[in-house]
Amino acid sequence: MLLDPLDKIVQNLPYGAGFKFVDKLLEISDDRVVGIYRFRESEPFFQHHFINNPVVPGVILTECMAQIGLACLGSYLNKDEAIKSFAMTENHVVFLKQVQPETTVIVSAVKKYHRFGKLKVLVQMLDENENKVAEGWMSGMSGS
């Protein structure tokens, strides 16, 4: 069975199952990517952040945005190169809303520039009801 090209990008991300925050890419082009992830109640960080009122830590929300906005888009843009990783180098993200267990988020990123192995994107995260969760910018570099 042949994999859909979008599924192949997600499958080839260099993260293990416990740290991959991309379920599916909905669209990708040279200028934009959109993907989704559902934060399942079984995620280990919910046991400890916060007790009796679990929310997704901001660092995990940032990682989800980086995996979709930088790693997936970077992998797509560098399809002719063998990239083993795409590391975030800097970011500025503003959080507007908490994310509870069993929430699906939609991450979209628009390319600002891509040159010399460096990618910068404007990124935003919405919840399943299209409420804005976070927005900002990120940049990263490909590694071999």
* Active site (catalytic) residues: 49
Dihedral, CA of residue 6, residue 140, residue 90 and residue 33, to nearest 10: -30
Q: Which strands form 103-115's sheet, in the order they lie side by side? A: 24-28, 32-39, 103-115, 118-127, 132-143, 85-95
- Name which of 82, 57, 100, 93 is nearest 142 in CA terms: 82
Dihedral, CA of residue 117, residue 143, residue 121 and residue 115, to nearest 10: 0
**What radius of gyration, in Å, describes the C-alpha atoms of the chain?**
15
Say which amino acid occupies 74: G
